[in-house]
Copies of this chain bind each other. A is one copy, B any other.
Amino acid sequence: MANAPNERTGRRIQSVEIAFTILDAVRKNDRPSITELADELGHSKSTIYSHLQTLESEEIIVREDDGYRLSLQVLDMANDVRNQVANYDVIVDAVDELANETGEIAQFGIEEHGQVSYLYKARGNQAVETASRAGGKQPIYSTSLGKSILAFLPPDRQEEIVSETTFERKTPKTITDPARLYTELEEIAERGYAIDDEENIEGLRCVATPVRNGTSVVGAVSVTGPASRITDDYLHGELAESVQRAANVIELNTKFS
């Protein structure tokens, strides 16, 4: 809708693309019917029909009286994902602990397709409400998680991501200039942690540190709180330390393959 991602090389398989378009529509519309989907997606009823049949026989969707919906197999897949990405239990423990310790929101995220995806989110007892949730995505350049990951990625990958990114201003403070981003990434690499000073959401500041496996970055941990509580001193002092400690705990407790 907003971005035209990688056109890349290699052939796309049309029917598979159609299938996922349908899946997406089933996700977003509430129990759509065949005709509904055919209209919305601009395909013939017969096309949609065979696709739905296929998806149902794959047990990825379920047909009910009032329309199609996703099946719980997706939850099963979600379990697998959590453990493929990282040692999920270790991350949950560390992030929970960080949230309790600070009272704020603590999160773990990784880079995917040039964006940050959240793997886990925990809320401390005075945490503000935010829309982010596990599985959600945010720009890499406007979040502390994103920048901290980016800063420690190999240069070629770093450039690849930046070059494929279209910068959108999310707040007055959002970085929208690649050059500006690169200089900040250098700072981050030196300092060891990244901050987000109301660059993604107004009123919110974050600190994040990368979680590494040897030299490569696997993800990052962050704390998010209201600008009113997160003063400069606190952010660069105690909070940065807490976040780094959490990242260390994850690194140590994770047995990377």
Contacts and interface: CB of A to CB of B under 8 A. Distances in A.
Interface of A: 5-6, 8-13, 15-17, 19-20, 27-28, 30-31, 49-51, 53-55, 57-60, 62, 65, 69-82, 84-85, 110, 112-113, 117-119, 133-137, 216, 257
A135 to B, nearest CB: 3
Contacts of A257: 30
A60 B16 CA distance: 12
A31 to B, nearest CB: 7
A112 B53 contact: no
21 contacts: A8-B57, A11-B50, A12-B53, A12-B54, A13-B19, A16-B58, A17-B54, A30-B84, A30-B257, A59-B112, A69-B85, A72-B112, A72-B135, A74-B74, A75-B81, A75-B82, A75-B119, A75-B135, A76-B134, A76-B137, A79-B135
A58 B11 contact: no
Nearest to A55: B16
Give the oligomeric copy count. 2
Contact of A8 (B11, B53, B137): B53
Contact of A10 (B50, B73, B134): B50
Contact of A135 (B31, B76, B110, B119): B76
A79 B75 CA distance: 9
A50 B134 CA distance: 29
A74 B23 CA distance: 12
Nearest to A52: B10
Contact of A70 (B15, B77, B113, B133): B77
Contacts of A137: 72, 76
Max chain B Cβ within 10 angstroms of own Cβ: one of A30, A54, A75, A257 = A75
Contact of A75 (B8, B15, B78): B78
Nearest to A31: B84
A79 B132 CA distance: 12
A136 B82 CA distance: 15
Given A135-B73, A135-B76, A113 B81 contact: no
Given A17-B58, A62-B113, 10 more contacts: A13-B15, A13-B19, A15-B15, A16-B16, A16-B58, A62-B112, A69-B85, A74-B77, A75-B78, A76-B136
